[in-house]
Amino acid sequence: MPPTYDAVIIGSGFGGSIPALRLAQAGKKVLVLEQGRVYTEQDFKQSWDLKYLSNLLSITTSDDYATFFRSGMVLGGGSVVFSGLMNRSPSETFQFVDDNGYKVWPDAVTRQVLDPYYDMVEGMMQIRQATWNEVSKTGGMFAKMLDNVGLTCDRARFPYVNCRQCGYCEAGCIYGAKQSLMHNYIPQAQAAGVEFRTGCRAMQVLPAAAGYTIEYTGPDDTLSSVQGTIVIVAAGTVYSAELLLRSKPSLPQLSDQVGQNFNNNGGVRFGIELPDGLPSIECYKGMDSAGVMTYAYWKDYGITIEAGTSPASIFTLNIHRQGDLGWGLGFKQWAHSVYPSKLIIANIMGPVTGEGSVYLNNNNLASVHFPLTQNLAQYISSKIAPIQALATANKAYLLQTMPSGYMYSIDHMLGTCRMGDDPARSVADGNGQVRNYPGLFVSDSSALPCGTGVNPSTTVAANAERIAQYIVTNW
Amino acid sequence: MDNIKITESIAERDLNRRDFFKWIIRASVAATVFGLLDQISCGTVPQTGVQTSPYMVPQTADEKTVYALCDTVLPGRTSDPSGAPGAVDAGTMDFAYDKFYGVVQEFPLVLPLFNAEAQKQYGKPLYELDLAQRTTVLQNSETLLGLIDQIYMFLKGPFYIGMISTLGLEYMGDPGPNLGYRNQDFSFYKPMSTEITSDGNLP
């Protein structure tokens, strides 16, 4: 008989640590299995070297090798390695109808429903709107470009306390200024009795007499098992789907939607080369996010845009002028001419139909299929058009940033175990409970059915709070 | 699961050598003509034993080809007319042969492609060509083979990320690791921005 818990949670990011705390506060005995290891401020480095980052991140490519995806693989998950921008999803997001005519969000989940949970998350993580003095020059210049054509730009919201603006948020904040889950939910959960086991990779979920058995490998690669009356899968969009797909032989009634509807939050990354004659924006200075977000295109185009600061490492990506090469002497000279004074990198976000998928490869591990479909190409083309107009109006230059002329955001992965009202088109119900398997929940980014219109972490966190409350009330 | 290596990850994810090869030569848009070729006709790969940097000096034919590839993707001091540093000066050869990143094990698959194109165009291996010729070879290889951008990402990494030396960062004006810019005035163009929300969130 394996050790038994009231709840076993797989993953320690927003979707895992938040329910862990709430269930423990309700008196439940909780175990969290985390594949990554524990990192503290003393362990972080100001470095973009993959040799270092691969200790914090899981890096996946799409099966056509065109796109890289990254997800946090460390105690605290994505909260440790995200840029920190934490805005609420606009109300219209929850009414999104996809290209198939399906309203993807459950009716039970609206902005109004989530607002109290957003409040909880914002309180726990000390999220606040940036002051203008925290908005970097990059952000200020982006705001000015919008203002030049009569458009608005707002200061964004962040979980930062005494930020030093060093520009290494996504490598782990060495100053402890970013209030990741390591600063709030996780220590409070530990104090409430939650047991966190790191270096543990869940391999399979099996039905048990009372709940479910989780088989997992530990740091020494030995196979162990635990049992939970409740099991919450919160391993991130790729690995939650991987785990459930691998569990399908023992959970045969799982929806055939597991792994489907993969999307990247409608992310399209682009660059702007500023014209000559402006003061240098010193684009390496500031938070990883430039501190601003424009909603100017939300009403007409269904997108928001965040601007970011840029380390020189941005030039490892295929960012270059249209028609030029992304390498060679000309590229080197061009990069030197625009950096760090004239380069703005920004990211479009918006609800989009999820046409990608996660499936098991021959090694029983996740592969991501994320093709540039006709719909997606059309989405990118339609969303980049107003940005081209913005650049032109400012005598700036819109830069091509990716192979084949596009760039998918390499984070913000959503949708593979989505909630929904239609059992035929969703993995879980509106409470995050997996259909046909009472007590089995998904509470992470995989449960969100479409792009959130903004950076998704706040909505992932608020939804996890909501699901946790449902579990506490009903289990 | 500490220290998950990229190479192991690739292997674990069922990417065998053939898959990786396909990755590297994945079809992509045809390269367009680069208008600067006339300006870049200088520089060839250092002869064996000529130490131009504290990093790995190419000895074998394959190593010379890798060196030439690096020096074409980001031309270094001996190739750039301005004398500005490039990939090889920033230690990219050391990176390329670092087994952690896994690039080295794929060289036997890709290097012959460059040399075959170089032989076809100029009757010489890649490493015996000058920068303009090498650039043309890479452009043609890209056209023919859909040479993908990922290998360039890898080869540009040491220079722009500063993982071997800080030479590239210094050249770019990126200070790298820093104590922050807490006293910097970030209120840039503040009076020029209009906000539509009261707290940063749309309703």
Beta-carbon separation of A46 and B176 below 8 A: yes
Q: Which helix (H) or strand (E) holds B52?
A: none
Where are the alpha helices (H) located in B13-91, listed in sequence order?
A: 17-24, 61-73
- pLDDT at position B151 is 76
User: Which residue among A134, A328, A365 sits closest to B73, beta carbon to beta carbon?
Assistant: A328
Chain centroid to CA A117: how far?
A: 18
Q: Residue A60 forms beta bridges with which residues?
A: A69
Q: What is the dihedral angle through the alpha carbons of A231, A234, A239, A240, rounded to the nearest 10 degrees?
A: 50
**Cis-peptide into A219, omega within 30 deg:** no
Looking at A202-206, A313-317, B126-130, B133-137, which range is the least confident one?
A313-317
> For residue A438, what are its two tokens?
């009472």
- The predicted-structure confidence for B18-42, as pLDDT tens digits, reads as follows 444 444 433 222 222 222 223 333 4
Q: How far is A166 from chain B (nearest CA, A)?
A: 4
User: Which residue among A152, A327, A365 sits closest to B74, beta carbon to beta carbon?
Assistant: A327
- Rounded to an integer, what distance in angstroms lies between the CA atom of residue A149 and that of residue A145? 7
> For residue A380, what are its two tokens?
């990118």
Beta-carbon separation of A318 and B194 below 8 A: no
A40 at interface of B, judged by CB pairs closer than 8 A: no
Per-residue pLDDT for chain A (475 aa), expressed as one digit of tens each?
899 999 999 999 999 999 999 999 999 999 999 999 999 999 999 999 888 998 999 887 788 777 788 899 999 999 999 999 999 999 999 999 999 999 999 999 999 999 999 999 999 999 999 998 899 999 999 999 999 999 999 999 999 999 999 999 999 999 999 999 999 999 999 999 999 999 999 999 999 999 999 999 999 999 999 999 999 999 999 999 999 999 999 999 999 999 999 999 999 889 999 999 999 999 999 999 999 999 999 999 999 999 999 999 999 887 889 888 889 999 999 999 999 999 999 999 999 999 999 999 999 999 999 988 888 888 988 999 999 999 999 999 999 765 454 455 578 999 999 999 999 999 999 999 999 999 999 999 999 999 999 999 999 999 999 999 999 999 9
Q: How far is B124 from chain A (nearest CA, A)?
A: 20
User: Which residue among B31, B131, B186 sits closest to A329, beta carbon to beta carbon?
Assistant: B131
Per CB-CB distance under 8 Å, the chain B contacts of A140 are 186-190, 193
Q: How far is B51 from chain A (nearest CA, A)?
A: 22
Instruction: Indicate the average pLDDT of chain B.
Output: 76
CA distances to A5, A67, A130, B87 from A326, rounded to whole Å, are 53, 16, 35, 14
Q: Is the pLDDT of residue B4 over 60?
A: no
DSSP strand pairing (A304-308 vs A289-294) = antiparallel
CA atoms within 13 A on the CB side of A289: 28
Q: What is the ipTM of this complex?
A: 0.91
Which 398-427 residues of chain A touch chain B by CB within 8 A? 402-405
What is the DSSP code (8-state) at residue A146? Answer: H
- pLDDT at position B5 is 41
- pLDDT at position B144 is 55
- Rounded to an integer, what distance in angstroms lies between the CA atom of residue A385 and that of residue A334? 24
User: pTM for the full model?
Assistant: 0.91
Q: How far is B123 from chain A (nearest CA, A)?
A: 22
Contact A316, A349 (CB under 8 A): no
Which 431-470 residues of chain A touch chain B by CB within 8 A? 453
- Rounded to an integer, what distance in angstroms lies between the CA atom of residue A308 and that of residue A293? 10
- Rounded to an integer, what distance in angstroms lies between the CA atom of residue B71 and that of residue A467? 54
Nearest to A437 by CA among A207, A111, A247: A207
